[in-house]
Copies of this chain bind each other. A is one copy, B any other.
């Protein structure tokens, strides 16, 4: 079978880890290694290593990457500056893909927002994000990623909390006589696992280098 590969997961038992296993196995890839709260399990040396765990076990991930010496995809959130420095050092030898959001649709929204923002510099901009009532932080991390596109100006962001909405984001541009909006609605976690699969396939073709998920999506 061509183009399939052996993979390992750190944080395999979490919700994202489980979804990654589903999506990778559907494509006939082989699950050969995991590390989790329950410990380590290995049946073969992985060709790519996925990290869906927590920053607390980052050092453990680094050990495994050194051991397997294979492409590394990291989805862990809340990394420190020293974590990033270590990832960059590592990326001199192997390909590393790092992102806080592996949704393809969000990457497209970010790209489209950047292009529209450059062309509509004197239009008003508004960001709206809607999430489930249990989400405490405002605005969402993704809303902050959108805000960062508009470096030179402060963009108002409205946060709505409704039922169990998985996550909607809208960027609206308002000119005199017209409004242009870009909206993304997430409905399942599967999209993140597919983004990680895409990243693994991307990294397997590289020799080394530090990449974001934006690179994966747009350097095709």
Which of A154-181 touch B at CB < 8 Å?
Answer: 156, 158-166, 172-181
Whether A105 contacts B176 by the Cβ 8 Å rule is no
Chain B residue numbers with a CB within 8 Å of A109 are 180
Q: Considering only CB atoms and an 8 Å cut-off, how many residues of chain A contact the other chain?
A: 52
Cβ proximity bits A105-127 to B, threshold 8 Å, 1 near / 0 not: 11011011001100110011010
Q: How far is the CB of A176 from chain B (nearest CB, A)?
A: 5
Q: In residues 189-220 of chain A, which contact B (Cβ within 8 Å)?
A: 189-191, 194, 217-218, 220
Q: Is the CB of A191 within 8 A of B177?
A: yes
A89 an interface residue at 8 Å Cβ cutoff? no
Decide if the interface of chain A is mainly helix, strand, loop or mixed: mixed
Q: Which residues of B contact A112 (CB under 8 A)?
A: 112, 115-116, 182
Q: Which residues of B are found within 8 Å of A165, using beta-carbon distances?
A: 174, 179, 187
Q: How far is the CA of A209 from the CA of B90 in the complex (A)?
A: 51
CB-CB contacts of A68-110 with B at 8 A, as 1s and 0s? 0000000000000000000000000000000000011110110
Asked if A148 is at the interface of the complex by the 8 Å CB criterion, the answer is: no
The answer to whether A120 and B104 touch across the interface, beta carbons within 8 angstroms, is yes
**Nearest 9 CB-CB pairings of A with B:** A162-B174, A163-B174, A158-B158, A177-B188, A177-B191, A105-B178, A126-B160, A177-B190, A112-B112
Other CB < 8 Å A-B pairs besides A105-B180, A128-B128, 8 of them? A105-B175, A112-B182, A164-B188, A165-B187, A177-B190, A177-B191, A178-B187, A180-B183
Which A residues have a C-beta under 8 Å from some C-beta of B?
A: 103-106, 108-109, 111-112, 115-116, 119-120, 123-124, 126, 128, 130, 133, 156, 158-166, 172-191, 194, 217-218, 220
